Structure 1
Amino acid sequence: MERMKLPRYVIRYVFYYFVALFSLIFLYSALFLFITRYIEGVKYGVADALHWVIVSMATRAVPDVVLTTTAGKTLSIIVSMSGIVLMFGLLIPISNTIWKYLAWRFEHPASTTLRNHVVVCYYSKIAEKLIGELESLNIPFLVLDPRAEVVHSLFEKGVPCVVGDPTSSEGLKRANVESAKAVVMCGTDVQNTAVLLELGSGIVVAEGTIKEEHLKMAGADMVVVPKKLVGDHVAHRIIELMKGVPVGEVEFFRGLYITELPVNPECGAVGKTIKEVWTQEGGRLGGRVIAIWKDGKLIPSPAPETVLTSNSVLVVVGTLEQLRTVEDSICTERCKCMGAPHTPRRFIVIGHGEVGKEVVRRLMDAGVEVAVIDSNPHALSGLECPSIVGSATDEEVLKEAGVDQPGHLTVLILLPDDSESALSTLLVRDMNPRAFIITRENTGENIDKIHKAGSSYVVSIPVMCVEVITSEIAKKYNKKYKAEPMAQGLVVEVFEVPKKSLLTEFDLESLSLPRKFGCSLIGIKRGEDVILDIKPNEVLKEGDRIAVVGTEEGISRFREVFML
Structure 2
Amino acid sequence: MARRFAQVAMRLLPPTMRPDRFTRRNRLVVYYLLALVGVISLYSVLYNVGMGYFENDHRPLFHSLQIVVETMTTTGYGADSPWDSAVMNLFVVFMQLTGIGIGFFTLRLIVIPLFSSAEVDLDSRLTPKSDHVVICEYRRDSAILLEELEDLGVEYVLISSDEEEARDLSNEGYSVIDGSPQERSAFERASIESARAVITDAGPANVDTILTVRSIRPDVEIIALTDDSDLREVLLDTGADSVLSPHGVLGHRLAEKAAASIDAAVRDAVELGEDVNVSEVPIAHDSGLVGRRIRDSRIREETGANVLGAWIDGELQLPPDPDAVIQPNTVLLVSGTDDALGRDERVHPSAPHLPRTRTHRRAGTRRGRACRPRGGEESGIDVVTVDSDEGANPDVVGDASSRPILEEAGVDDAGAIIVGLPDDSAALLASVLARSANPDAEILMRVNTDDDTRKALKAGADYVLSVPQISARMVAMELRGEAVIEPASQVRLVQVEASPFAESTLAESGIYEETGCRVVAIEDENGVSGAVDPHRELAADDRLTVAGTDDAIHEFLKQVDVARTDTDET
TM-score class, shorter: 0.5 to 0.7
Partner of 1:547, secondary structure, is strand
Distance 1:248 1:467, change over 3 A: farther
* 2:254–2:371 contact (8 Å) kept in structure 1: no
What are the ranges of 5 or more consecutive residues in structure 2 without an aligned counterpart? 1-109, 563-570
Q: Deviations over 1:69-105 (max 9, x none)?
A: xxxxxxxxxxxxxxxxxxxxxxxx9997338966765
* C-alpha distance in structure 1 between counterparts of 2:373 and 2:542, whole Å: 45
Deviations 1:99-125 (A, max 9, x none): 89667658435x84513x322123443
- Structure 1 position 370, deviation (Å): 3.5
Work out whether residues 189 and 210 of structure 1, in 8 Å CA contact, stay in contact via their aligned partners in 2. Answer: no
- Of the candidates 323, 326, 336, which is equivalent to residue 318 of structure 1? 336
Q: Of 386, 395, 409, which aligns to 1:401?
A: 409
Alignment of 1:198-277 (within 5 A): 198-200=212-214, 202-208=222-228, 211-235=231-255, 244=264, 248-253=268-273, 255-277=275-297
Query: Which residues in structure 2 correspond to 1:135-154 (within 5 Å)?
Result: 135-147=150-162, 149-154=164-169
| Superposition deviation, residue 183 in structure 1 | 1.0
**Distance in 2 separating the partners of 1:512 and 1:178:** 39
After superposition, what is the alpha-carbon deviation per residue over 1:233-253, rounded to whole angstroms, capped at 9, x for unaligned? Answer: 444555566663666522344
1:164–1:257 Cα change, 3 Å: same
1:193 aligns with 2:234: no
TM-superposed CA distance for 1:491, in Å, is: 0.7
SS of corresponding position for 1:553: helix
The answer to whether the 8 Å contact 2:506/2:533 transfers is: no
Alpha-carbon distance in 1 for matches of 2:223, 2:162: 21
8 A contact 1:247–1:260 mirrored in 2: no
Q: Is the 8 A contact 2:252 2:373 kept in 1?
A: no
The equivalent position to 1:392 in structure 2, one of 367, 390, 401, is 401
Please tell me whether residue 330 in structure 1 is matched to residue 328 in structure 2: no
Q: Could you say which residue in structure 2 is the equivalent of 1:507?
A: 507
> How far apart, in 2, do the equivalents of 1:270 and 1:435 lie?
15
Paired with 2:299 and 2:380, the residues of 1 have a C-alpha distance of: 40
One-letter amino acid of the structure 1 residue matched with residue 462 of structure 2:
S
2:321 aligns with: 303
CA contact (8 A) 2:278 2:336 kept: yes
Return 5+ residue gaps in structure 1 as ranges: 1-92
One-letter code aligned to 2:211 = L
User: Residue in 1 aligned with 2:114?
Assistant: 97
Query: How much does 1:270 deviate?
Result: 2.7
Q: Distance in 1 between matches of 2:236 and 2:488?
A: 30
Q: Would you say the 8 A contact 2:122–2:170 is kept in 1?
A: no
1:430 equivalent to 2:436? Answer yes
Residues 1:563 and 2:561 aligned together: yes
**Structure 2 partner of 1:471:** 477
Say which of 466, 480, 483 aligns to 1:481.
483
TM superposition score normalised by structure 2: 0.66
Find the aligned partners of 1:428 and 1:512 in 2 and give their Cα distance: 42
**CA offset at residue 316 of structure 1?**
0.6
CA offset at residue 551 of structure 1?
A: 1.6
**Residue-by-residue CA offset, 1:342-375 (whole Å, 9 max, x unaligned):** 821012221243314763998579874333334x
1:219 shift after superposition: 2.4
- Secondary structure of 1:557 counterpart: helix
Give the drift of 1:150. 4.3
**Cα distance in 1 for residues equivalent to 2:164 and 2:393:** 46
Matches of 1:506 and 1:227 in 2, distance apart?
Answer: 37
Give the whole-Å Cα distance in 2 for the aligned partners of 1:252 and 1:528.
Answer: 13
Change (3 A) 1:500 1:243: closer
- Cα distance in structure 1, aligned partners of 2:361 and 2:315: 27
Match of 1:371 among 384, 408, 411: 384
Displacement, 1:466? 3.1
Alpha-carbon distance in structure 1 between the residues aligned to 2:149 and 2:284: 38
Q: 1:344 aligns with which of 357, 364, 376?
A: 357
In 1: Cα distance, 2:270 partner to 2:368 partner: 23
What does residue 545 of structure 1 align with?
Answer: 543
Give the Cα separation in 2 of the matches to 1:183 and 1:301.
38
The question of whether the paired residues in 2 share the 8 Å contact of 1:388 and 1:401 is answered with no
Q: Hey, what's the Cα distance between the residues in 2 that align with 1:355 and 1:361?
A: 13
Change in 2 beyond 3 A, CA 1:381/1:558: closer
Change (3 A) 1:382 1:125: closer
2:7 match: none
After superposition, the CA RMSD in angstroms is 4.0
State the distance in 1 between where 2:405 and 2:117 align: 54
Q: Is the 8 A contact 1:507 1:537 kept in 2?
A: yes
Partner of 1:323, secondary structure, is: coil
Change over 3 Å in CA distance of 1:563–1:253 after alignment to 2: farther
User: Measured at CA, do residues 158 and 106 of structure 1 come closer, stay the same or move farther in structure 2, by a change above 3 Å?
Assistant: closer
User: Alpha-carbon deviation of 1:290?
Assistant: 1.3
In the alignment, residue 418 of structure 1 is paired with which amino acid?
D
2:424 maps to amino acid: D
Q: Percent identity?
A: 25
Q: 1:233 to 1:530 in 2, by over 3 A?
A: closer
SS of equivalent residue, structure 2 residue 495: strand
Per-residue displacement from partner, 1:442-475 (whole Å, max 9, x unpaired)?
123323332343323323323333333333333x
Q: Deviations over 1:310-329 (max 9, x none)?
A: 332211111222111xx235
Partners of 1:197 and 1:380 lie apart in 2 by 31
Hey, what's the Cα distance between the residues in 2 that align with 1:471 and 1:95? 35
Contact 1:264 1:335 in 2 (8 A): no
**8 Å contact kept, 1:247–1:259:** no
Look up the SS of the partner of 2:310 in the other structure.
strand
1:176 to 183, 186, 191: 191
Partner-residue secondary structure (3-state), 1:306: coil
Most deviating of 518-527 and 413-422? 518-527
TM (normalized to structure 1)?
0.67
Task: Using the TM superposition, give the Cα deviation of residue 529 of structure 1 relative to its aligned residue in structure 2, in angstroms.
Answer: 6.2
In structure 2, do the counterparts of structure 1 residues 419 and 254 end up closer, same or farther at CA, with 3 Å as the change threshold?
A: farther
**Structure 1 residues 382 and 100, CA, compared in 2 at 3 Å: closer, same or farther?**
closer
Cα gap change, 1:300/1:107 in structure 2, threshold over 3 Å: closer, same or farther? same
Partner of 1:108: 125
Deviations 1:177-229 (A, max 9, x none): 23333211122322x33222222372222354994444344323333344444
> Is the CA contact (8 Å cut-off) linking 1:404 and 1:431 kept in structure 2?
yes
Q: Which residue matches 1:414?
A: 420
How far the C-alpha of 1:162 sits from its partner, in A, is: 4.6
What residue is the counterpart of 1:79 in the other structure? none
One-letter identity of the residue aligned with 1:171? A
Aligned amino acid, residue 512 of structure 2: L
1:355 pairs with 2:368: yes
CA distance in 1, matches of 2:159, 2:392: 42
Farther off after superposition, 360-369 or 492-501: 360-369
Contact 1:393/1:420, CA 8 A, preserved across alignment? no
Deviations 1:143-195 (A, max 9, x none): 234555544444455544455543222222233323333211122322x3322
| Alpha-carbon distance in 1 for matches of 2:116, 2:488 | 46
Instruction: From the superposition, tell whether residues 246 and 131 of structure 1 become closer, same or farther in structure 2 (CA, over 3 Å).
Output: farther
Q: 1:134 to 1:443 in 2, by over 3 A?
A: same
Looking at CA atoms only, which structure, 1 or 2, has the larger radius of gyration?
1
| Cα distance between partner residues in 1 of 2:267 and 2:149 | 29
